[in-house]
Amino acid sequence: MTNPLNFSIIGLQEFSISFDKYCTDCQIQQYCEYGRKKPFTIEINCKDINQAKEKIKYDELRSLQKTENITNSYDDLLKKVKINLQSIFSQIWKKKIKNQKEVIRCLDSKKVDPILVTQQGQDWWQDFNQTMKLINEECEKII
């Protein structure tokens, strides 16, 4: 099992995730903007997660309305909607972390050995995914 990253509540529905456990001195680290004193952190808002869920729900409901029996009620259709949290977390990952590879040198395969980048990326993703599950649980309690 992966180890969740450090996260903290910074607002009513906002969380901060710190990648400080990855900010150790290494050869790659000396070229990074972030380090032990200034770890890479991102902010996650419950609204972002919930809006993504609602968009998926809306899209799937529209699709189901076209294919399902017209006598099915809205609640029956809603029961058939499946929300894939992994895809939501993956979108957040891409937007907030992977697209930042210019400042996170160990995730940039153009500057570091691609094999190392792949391994580092998998480690970061697993821990991020586990942390996002915990944050999602907290968000569900709030709303």
Nearest-angstrom CA–CA distance, 72 and 65: 9
Res 39: pLDDT: 77
Task: Tell me what pLDDT residue 135 has.
Answer: 94
pLDDT tops 90 at residue 77: no
Query: Taking the domains of the chain in order of start, what are their residue ranges?
Result: 6-142
State the Cα–Cα distance between residues 17 and 92, nearest whole angstrom. Answer: 12
Is it the case that residue 35 has pLDDT exceeding 70?
no
pLDDT for 32 beyond 60: yes
Residue indicated by tokens 């380090």: 35
Query: Does position 49 have pLDDT exceeding 70, yes or no?
Result: yes
- Comparison of pLDDT for 24 and 137, the residue scoring more: 137
Residue appearing with tokens 């153009």: 110
Q: For residue 139, give every residue at least 6 positions away whose Cβ sits within 8 Å of its Cβ, in sequence order, or none.
A: 13, 46, 49, 50
pLDDT in tens, 1-30: 557 788 899 988 999 998 877 766 556 655
Lowest mean pLDDT, pick from 25-29, 58-62, 91-95, 129-133:
25-29
Cα(96)–Cα(111) distance, integer angstroms = 20
DSSP 16: E
The pLDDT value given to residue 60: 87
